Structures are given as structure tokens and as C-alpha cells.
Amino acid sequence: MEIEVKSQKDDEIVFIVRDAEVPFINAIRRCAMVNVPKIAIEDVNIIRNDSAMFNEVLAHRLGLTPLVSDLDALEGLSLPEDDDWDEYDNGIMFSLVEEGPKVVYSKDLISSDSKIKPVYDTIPLVKLKENEQLKIEAVAKVGYGKEHAKWMPTTVCAYKQYPEITFNDDMEIDYDCASACPRGVLKSDKRSKKIKILDIENCAMCKSCVRASTNGYINVGYRENDFIFRIETDGSMPPKEVLLKACEVLGEKADKFIRFSEEGGSK
């Protein structure tokens, strides 16, 4: 198996995996989505809320506000599966005390731990009118996406098989197929009497080009064992960390399965 990183940013990584199987790639995708630990607000105590927003909606917004959950932030925190996990001992306290008129933003949440704070400062939480007050205490905890979407670090976690475009040289060149492509993957070059493939990895395999060709000049397929994988996060952790943790979790699960099989399923 070969892996090639195509691009990497603070919140997105795109890489190509060659010579792999669909179940394996899909297992990594699922682990990245639901088995990577992340911090999110879980308990909210609304002491005063004069705003027009219902308490439940406000609590939901706080839960979905991405909090920094990288390796540094998670260091020293117990995980739900650890022996010393205590639901109440492992919380990070947040407070929010505001008075209108103003828009309350995520940056107004005061954390008890300087490492664990909202990823973005400018997420609007609630609008307060003149003299309206807000007093909230909240507790953030480590959790997993399999329990609730707020603990899911990924906003996009998807793969597609590597596209393959071939031309039928026995047929007359059909330039219509290039102009039918909505993603700029194909370009007609009438001087050299060719259709050029500009960016095959951008091909969505929608087959608009195939449908536009009346003589079957173009074919679109995919490579069975090559994949383009894309992970985008909500900023709470770098996508590379998500990927590495997902691989670690998958490895642990495989080890457990092997041990279980070797022991004859006695445990």
C-alpha cells in the first residue's frame, strides 16, 4: 500500500491511497468520524437567560461550538474508557456572564483551562437586547462521535475511488464530451486533435461527458484499489492528528480481535 499526501492545511488533508481494499479504507473513515476523542460542552446550567432564545436551543449551540481538542489539549485528561474516568472529575468549566445590548460570541466563553477554548472567536451564540442578562455555567467533557455529533472532529470524511478516463481511438473525436464536463476536468484541443485531461482527481465520475458523447468516444471508470481520501475538521484538531488517531484505534481493534480469535473466543 502506498500513501501520497496531495494537500494539507490546518483543517483539511487530501491524500491518495494506492493498493488498498474498500473495507479497510471505509474502516479508517468510520474510525476517524466516531472513534477519535474530542472535547465538547456536555452539561449546561442556565442560571439566567433573558434572551428570546429557548434554553434548550442555547445549550445545543454551546454543545456544537468547536473547542480546541488537539493532543496538547487532551494531554492529562482521562478518556471515558479509562479506569480512572469519572464523569464529574474530568470536566472543563466554562462560564458566560453577559448583559445586552450585544451579540454574545464564542470568544465570550471563559474557560477554566487556557488550552481548551473555542476554536473560533466569532461564532454568534445569542443576541441580547438592552438590559437582558445571561448567566451560564457549562462543563465540557471528552467524548466520541459515536455518542453525539458534537464529539465528531470531522466535518467531511470521505473517499472516492481513483477515476479513470479512457478514449476510444477507433471513433471520431467527439469534442462535445469535453464541453459537457461541469468540473473542468476535460479540455478540447482542436489543434492537436485531442481531448486533454486537465485534473483527473477532480473528476466526480458523474458521466455527463459519457452521456454527451453520441458515438461512445469517452469512457469513465475507476481503479478498484486506489482511493482519494479527504478529511476536513471543524478546527478542533488538525486532520493529520485525526487520521493518526483513527489508524491507532483501528490497530487496537484489530489486535483485540486477533487476541480474541487466538484465545478461542474464551473471553
Judged by the rule CB under 6 A, the positions of this chain that interact with ligand SF4 are 165, 180-181, 183, 185-186, 203-209, 220
264: its cell numbers: 478461542
Minimum CB–partner distance for residue 164 and ligand SF4 (Å): 10
Count the alpha carbons within 13 Å of 71 in the hemisphere toward its beta carbon.
Answer: 8
Q: Is 137 exposed, middle or buried (0-12, 13-18, 19+ CB in 10 A)?
A: middle
- Residue 253, C-alpha cell as written in the block: 481493534
Q: Is 2:19 a contact under the CB 8 Å cutoff?
A: yes
- Residue number, 103 or 171, with CB nearest to ligand SF4: 171
Instruction: Collapse the DSSP code of 234 into the 3-class scheme (helix H, G, I; strand E, B; otherwise coil) and give the result.
Output: coil
Minimum CB distance to ligand SF4, residue 110 (Å): 48
Residue 150's contacts (CB-CB under 8 Å, 6 or more residues apart) are 40, 41, 63, 64, 143
Burial tier of 68 (Cβ tally within 10 Å: 0-12, 13-18, 19+): buried
Nearest residue (CB) to ligand SF4, 155 versus 219: 219
Give 8 or 179: the residue with its C-beta nearer to ligand SF4: 179
Contact predicate 126/61, CB 8 Å: yes
Minimum CB distance to ligand SF4 smaller for 183 or for 256: 183
Q: Minimum distance between the CB of residue 177 and ligand SF4, rounded to whole angstroms?
A: 7
Min CB(2)–ligand SF4 separation in Å: 23
Cβ proximity to ligand SF4, 124 vs 184, nearer residue:
184
Tell me how far, at minimum, the Cβ of 13 lies from ligand SF4, in Å.
22
